[in-house]
Amino acid sequence: MWWYCAHPIERVWAALTTAQGLSRWFGSIAEIDLRPGGRAFFRWDDLDEESVATIALVDPPHRFAFRWAIEGMPEGDAPQTLVDFTLEPVPDGTRDDRLAALKRALDATDTNQGVTHNEQA
């Protein structure tokens, strides 16, 4: 399923790859060392939870991926999950298959911004 986010690719990229952007939609606090092998830290104050990820790929502004451990398992022992964002500029926005929560955060201060989805990949 692809999501269309009515924001330019540069704004979506910043929301995915900067501490300020991430903390607006993915956790209360975020820190990120944006380079392959760099670390990302996420904290959710309302849940009293934290997570650490390792940056796997950075290709501005089109592709960003990180790996993180399954919740509740020690970081070194847990199987890793790869979270991979591939952004594509489209007329009037950006397309990806993981943008639903991000779209809501970016639209929080905008009015009349819609999201549509297409189940054809």
Residue 117 lies in a domain: no
Residue 116 lies in a domain: no
Residue 118 lies in a domain: no
User: What pLDDT is recorded for position 118?
Assistant: 39
User: What does the pLDDT average to over 109-113?
Assistant: 46
Residue 120 lies in a domain: no
User: What pLDDT is recorded for position 96?
Assistant: 76
Q: Is the pTM of this model over 0.75?
A: no
Residue 119 lies in a domain: no
- Higher-scoring residue by pLDDT: 29, 92: 29
What are the tens digits of pLDDT across the range 63-92? 999 988 766 666 666 667 888 888 999 888
Considering the chain, what is the average pLDDT of its residues?
80
What are the tens digits of pLDDT across the range 86-104? 899 988 888 876 655 555 5
Residue 29 lies in a domain: yes
- Higher-scoring residue by pLDDT: 54, 75: 54
**Into how many domains does the chain fold?**
1
Backbone angles phi, psi at 37, to 5 degrees: 90, -10
| pLDDT tier at 121, thresholds 50, 70, 90 | very low
Residue 33 lies in a domain: yes
The enclosing domain of 18 has a CATH number of: 3.30.530.20
Instruction: Domain of residue 60: give its range.
Output: 2-109
User: What pLDDT is recorded for position 68?
Assistant: 85
User: What pLDDT is recorded for position 84?
Assistant: 86
